[in-house]
Structures are given as C-alpha cells and as structure tokens.
Amino acid sequence: MFKRVAFQSYTSVTGNLARNAGCRRLASTKTLEETLREVIPPKQEQLKKLKAEHAQTVVGDVKVENIIGGMRGIKAMLWEASVLDPIEGIRFHGMSIPECREVLPPAPGGKEMTPESMLWLLMTGKVPTPQQSQQLSAELAEKGELPSFVEKLVDSFPKTLHPMTQLSMGVAALNHDSAFQAAYERGVKKTEYWAPTLEDCINLVAKLPSLAARIYRNVYYPDRPLVPIDRNLDLTGNYSNMLGFGNNENMTEYLRLYIALHGDHEGGNASAHTSHLVGSTLADPYLAYSAALNALAGPLHGLANQEVLRWQIAMQKEIGDTITHDNIKEYLWRTLKSGRVVPGYGHGVLRNPDPRFVALQDFCKTRPDLQASPTIQLVQQTAEVAPEVLKEHGKTKNPYPNVDAASGCVLYHYGLTEFKYYTVIFGVSRALGAVTQLVWARALGLPIERPKSYSMDALEKLIKN
C-alpha cells in the first residue's frame, strides 16, 4: 500500500507518466543543489512527523534466524531513493525500470537513460529536464580530472594488485581534498552538513571514470596513452572513450544502461549498507565509498558477474556450437550435482526474474550483432531452461536470473574481456545510490548506526526467559 501511494503521488492522478514527466522536464532549469534545497525541507518535516507520531509503531519482528543469518530481512534502515520488492523488483522513487528508461533523458544522440539523469532522480525524486541532465554532465566533465598525486599513487601500484583494491585505495586518497572534512573542521552548522557532502559526492562521481580508466590502462594496456576528458561528452561517453571503446556507440550505450541500472538497489546490500554505516560516523564520502568498494569486491557481492561469465564460457566450450535446451539442462545438472551453484541465478530478496536482467535482455534484442552472438544466445536460452531445473533441484528460493546472468556477457561480446575488471564498472555504478544516501543522511540528521549484538549464551538466555 505504501509504495502504491508513493508512486501515485509522484506521477499524478491521471497516471500518464510520460506526459507528466514531459511537463516536469519543461518546468525547471534549477541546478541540482537548488533543487535539493527545495526538496529537503519537506523530507525533514516528514521525518520529524514520523518520529513524533510513530516512533513506537512496530514494523517487524526480529527472530533468532535474523540475528544469526546476517540480519537478513530485518526492517531497520532508512533509504529514501529506492525500495526493493521481492515480486516487483526495484523502484526508484516509485518508478520502475521500464518507466525510468522511458522518461529519463538520454545523452544527445543516444536512446538509453544516462547515469546523470538517474543520479538526479535518486537525489531529488524528480525527473530532470534534458537541459538539467546535460548541465550535470558538463559539471561532471569539468570536475573529472584526477589530482596529480592520485595519478602518481595509482601508477605506482603493481599490475598484479586487483583492480578493485586499486579503485578503493584511489577513492580513499581523494579525501585529501574533501570539502566536508574542511567544512567540519571550520565548524559548519549541522543543518548544512549536506551541502559540502554534496560537493564531495559530485566530485567523487565525476572522478570515478578517470580513476577506473587509469586502472584499466595500467593493468591491461600500459603502453596505451590515456584519452583526456572531452567537455562535450557525458559521463559514460568519457568513460567509454578512456577505456578505448569510444568508437563503439553500442558499447557506450550499453555502459550507460549498465551504470544507471546498477546505480542503486535499496540500502541493505553489502556495499550500500557499508557506505551508509561508515558515513553515519560523519566520515567524508570518499572514505565511506572506499569502504563500500571493499564490500563490493567480495565474491558473494560484486564479483558475481565475472563468475557467471567464467561459467558460461566453460559451458559454451563443452557444449560447442550446437546449443539446445537439452544439453544446457544436462550441463546445469552436472554443475549442481558437483556441489557448485549456478552463478547468476537467485537473489537475496527477489522472488521473480530481476527487472535489471530483463532490461539488459531487451537491450540485446534490439541489436542484431548481440542476437547473433553465441554467448548472448547461450545466456538467453539458459534463462529459459535454468528456472525449471533449479525448481526441481529444490534448494533455491529464487530460481530466476539476476542481473549478473547477462551483464558481463555483453561486455565480453564488445571486447572488454578482462574479467577482473568487471566489478570496477559495478563500482563506478553503485556510487550513484551510495552518494545520494550520504547527502540525505546528512540532510535528515540521521544518527550513527549502532545495532545491538548478542552472544550465543545471551541469545539462549533470552529464549529461556
């Protein structure tokens, strides 16, 4: 009920999302900070009212299985930008992924929503005008160059150091120039904490492509010169260009969609939660997001997409050119009977196919080159076979594909074949949601996060009593 009401208030009583979004796009040319100064006070009042009138309202029961099972499912975190429903999937301020793809502005000449437009939506709850999105692109391009000391730091890393470790260290080093840290030391008022936090967050998002591209160059193509930032390109256009794919518009469009889709997925996932937790100590955004990247680097989180691709390529090698549902089914059973999981299937929350997977599949269906790819064909046919096999196997709560089942395979098709780098792209993406919540945590004055822990003896005593 709550989400339906929230969504109706966001669109309008007419329900015509596209038309109303078009009206909103023509309604304002305010900057991102100006827009936030409008939308923050009502949210502050909403939180104040919740505290005053509903502080004692019970919203869930904590069981022993929640405590010893990684706190899974416990309703205990405020996260404004997105809500993940097990059946519907993710909604960003009430908007589904298909709705976002319909109304969020693309880059000039492109068709897919840009990360900039998704960032604006996540931050403000409003659909930006094309002019606002392009204005944000220009600001990010202007702020996208790395400080020379960070360049030297990253260039000093051994090629054998994992790209995600390099990314985390590079992000942490950027805190040298933190606007929030400087403002805090000057004694900025608590009510204005969010403004220097926003400045840091925009700088962080702006510099991530340069940092990530430099790591890619150093590890895989050390003799390749780095392309400078083009002030006329959007964030992803520059990132694709610096990676060496600037002449492939399909790859650039895919990266736009990939980064926007991966930008936020509620607050309970490990990387988002880590950013929120560290940020709650009033650590600056660079330190908070560096910590989030360390969480993302774990094989149970962000590394999953590279594991999917390894598994898919191994299956393709064994099956050969003749791909049928029967030989896919046989390979799935061999994987399961060997005690391994089928990567790219299942999800901690979702109980239906991941809408992000569906969006990536829709992207593939509009490109003949992708439809002709044996790797993409195998992904599509595996998605048709795997759910029934996993249901029969009976050891998974969600037998449907998640976003990792498709994301890495498209990168591989377009020539980005370095598996270890895939999570870095995820890291560039996930910043959109993490920085949004850092700004809002400061705007709403959220406290330091401090859950209560128990030992097993203490739990047994509680149970007995």
Residues noted as catalytic: 301, 347, 404
Contact 297, 400 (CB under 8 A): no
Residue type, 459: L
Residue 242 C-alpha from the chain's centroid: 21
Interatomic CA distance for residues 139 and 133, integer angstroms: 10
Tokens 């600001």: give the residue: 139
C-alpha dist (Å) from residue 424 to 60, 155, 158, 294, 359: 36, 17, 17, 11, 21
Half-sphere exposure of 393 (CA within 13 A, CB side): 26
Listed in order, strand segments (DSSP E) in 18-130 are 82-85, 89-92
Helices (H), 174-298: 179-186, 194-220, 235-243, 249-261, 270-279, 285-296
Q: Give the three-state DSSP class for 103.
A: helix
| DSSP state for residue 177 in the 8-state scheme | G
| DSSP state for residue 106 in the 8-state scheme | B
Residue type, 275: S
User: Measuring CA to CA, which residue among 217, 8, 14 is closest to residue 93?
Assistant: 8
Residue type, 174: L
Residue 85: beta bridge partners? 89
| DSSP state for residue 372 in the 8-state scheme | T
CA-based end-to-end distance of the chain: 36
